[in-house]
Amino acid sequence: MTTDHKAILSFTDGTPSVEFPMLKGTTGPDVIDIRKLYAQTGKFTYDTGFLSTASCDSTITYIDGDKGQLLYRGYPIEQLAVNCSFLEVCYLLYYGELPPESEFKEFEQLVIHHTMVHEQMQFAMRGFRRDSHPMAILTSLVGSMAAFYPDSLDINSPEQQDISFVRLIAKMPTMVAMSYKYSIGQPYIYPKNSLDYASNFMHMMFATPCEEYTPNPVLVRAMDRIFTLHADHEQNASTSTVRLCGSSGTSPFSAIAAGVACLWGPAHGGANQACLEMLEQIQAEGGLAKVGEFMERVKDKNSGARLMGFGHRVYKNFDPRAKLMQETCREVLDELGLGNDPIFKLAMALEKIALEDDYFVQRKLYPNVDFYSGIVQRALGIPTSMFTCIFALARTIGWVAQWKEMITDPEYKIGRPRQLYTGHPERAVHGKRSRA
Ligand code: SDX
């Protein structure tokens, strides 16, 4: 990582200039190592939103926002989404290599045999209102894993790290399906060990005790691909939350629960729900005839309207996942005979208009992963309120892999940013204001 180059910082306030080493990664922007800045100058950097800050070094995922490139452990997302199953991608993200066939079969069986949750978990659910948002329930269920699995809380034990990894990716589909079943008043469906990962999830979501349910293989493949497309995305808001939370040494279940909570926000993982609600609202207001009016509102800063599913902090080109999601969307709609779905047609019209509109072109706003994911999930029968739960299910592997990378880094420290204080200078409390 080290290079011969340095960054020299000089000041006009009399502070002596200082030099910082420049570090170079495998690819992507070089970084200025400013870890000694405060000790050498008594000054902080200031970067709210972390627009120019690398919070760590990582070997897991690389994004080139200008090229629209996304690599998991060096493999392009376009190749993984077409050639690998989500569970193979989980193995890749956690262990660093795609699994040999024999090892994958063993890994798959290990995950399958951890898909049931503790039987008491259903009683933790009973306290929730039936109309609770599934993400509120899921945040609690993931956090409760620290209570149900106290035998894997030692973050310094490689064996306990690995069993927590398996428990999290194995039980997320079960907990997501339980959150859904609870919200519609149906009985929970236990996992079936004869089914693959995505089939098992769809079975737990849509089967009932009253009749056989056989998932459509085209829809299962689409579900599996949706998981892969959402698996990891370097230091996004929820992953950074997991790293910061996990840096205190708390359990992986608690750190991942913090990630679930962060993902729920509409600026982040909640955008898929917000995007479909936006499309349905435009459709209700008149559909394509109303698109121009809506776009004018989006461009009017005072309206507060945003084209949900568009824009990205890193991608200033097409989000490669959006293209793959659009293909998956078309496959699913064709399989279901919904090729003329008005919402899909509206989304494609919006995308075309936005890509030709100066406001979006100047700001390099392109469709992101959330723009089509809501349409395809709705076609798969997943209710809008569950979209972000699906995102959380898939992103769990990214969160766990990044958490593992952090806690096994011998140089890691608890994260503790500083601030620019702009409050009152010291002042005195006059007189006694309350009786002690
Ligand atoms: C995800 O970080 C990740 O990797 C996240 C993610 C992952 O896999 O983990 O990729 C998943 O969160 C995807 C993003 C989902 N969010 C949305 O689709 C919500 C809509 N998009 C935005 O709110 C916004 O684009 C963000 C939050 C995604 C990015 O915000 P930034 O980088 O802080 O950019 P910004 O808000 O400063 O916008 C730059 C300009 C602004 O205009 P100006 O002040 O320069 O005039 O673009 C405008 C913004 O007003 N803008 C939009 C817009 N997004 C940005 N205007 C209209 N519609 C939008 N969607």
Radius of gyration from C-alpha coordinates of the chain: 24
User: Do residues 361 and 369 lie in contact, with contact meaning Cβ atoms separated by under 8 Å?
Assistant: no
Residue of minimum CA distance from atom 57 in ligand 1: 306
Helices (H), 158-216: 158-184, 197-206
Residue 250 tokens read as: 């708390």
DSSP three-state, residue 3? strand
CA of residue 83 relative to chain centroid, distance? 22
Which tokens hold the place of 249?
A: 């040494």
Residue with tokens 């840096």: 247
Write out the two tokens for 124. 């933790």
Which is the catalytic residue, given 224, 319, 341, 370?
370
Other CB atoms within 10 A of residue 260 CB:
29
The residue contributing the CA closest to ligand 1 atom 51 is: 311
Q: Both ends of the chain: CA-CA distance in Å?
A: 58
Ligand 1 — pocket residues by CB below 6 A? 233, 236, 267-269, 271, 298, 306-314, 363, 365, 368-370
What's the pLDDT tens digit per position in 168-178?
A: 999 999 999 99
Query: Of the residues 133, 232, 312, 319, which is catalytic?
Result: 312
Whose Cα sits closest to atom 45 in ligand 1?
363
Angle between helices 387-407 and 158-184 (to 10 degrees): 170
User: CA of 83: how far to CAs of 77, 86, 225, 419, in Å?
Assistant: 10, 10, 10, 46
Give the per-residue pLDDT at 341.
87
Q: How far is the CA of 310 from the centre of ligand 1 (A)?
A: 7
Partners of 211 in the beta sheet? 208
370 CA distance to ligand 1 middle (Å): 11
Nearest C-alpha to atom 34 of ligand 1 is from which residue?
313
Query: What are the structure tokens assigned to 198, written together?
Result: 């995505």
Q: Tell how far the Cα of 248 is from the centroid of ligand 1, in angstroms.
A: 30
Show the low-confidence residues of the chain (pLDDT under 50). none
Specify whether the CB–CB gap between 311 and 68 falls below 8 A.
Answer: no
Predicted TM-score (pTM) of the model is 0.94
Identify the pLDDT of residue 436. 60
From the number of C-beta atoms within 10 Å of its C-beta (0-12, 13-18, 19+), residue 384 rates as: middle
Q: Are strands 31-32 and 61-64 parallel, antiparallel or unpaired?
A: unpaired
How far apart are alpha carbons 372 and 344 in whole angstroms? 8
Distance 326 CA to ligand 1 centre (A): 19
CA distance 343 to 320: 21
Q: How far apart are CA 243 and CA 402, in angstroms?
A: 7
Residue 356 φ/ψ region, left for φ over 0, alpha for ψ in the -120 to 50 degree band, beta for the rest: alpha
Residue 394, CA distances (Å) to 230, 243, 260, 416 in order: 6, 17, 11, 28
Give catalytic status of residue 5 as yes or no. Answer: no
Residue pointed to by tokens 């349409």: 375
Q: Answer yes or no: 133 catalytic.
A: no
Report the alpha-carbon distance of residue 203 to residue 198 in Å, rounded.
9
Q: How many CB atoms within 10 Å of residue 183?
A: 19
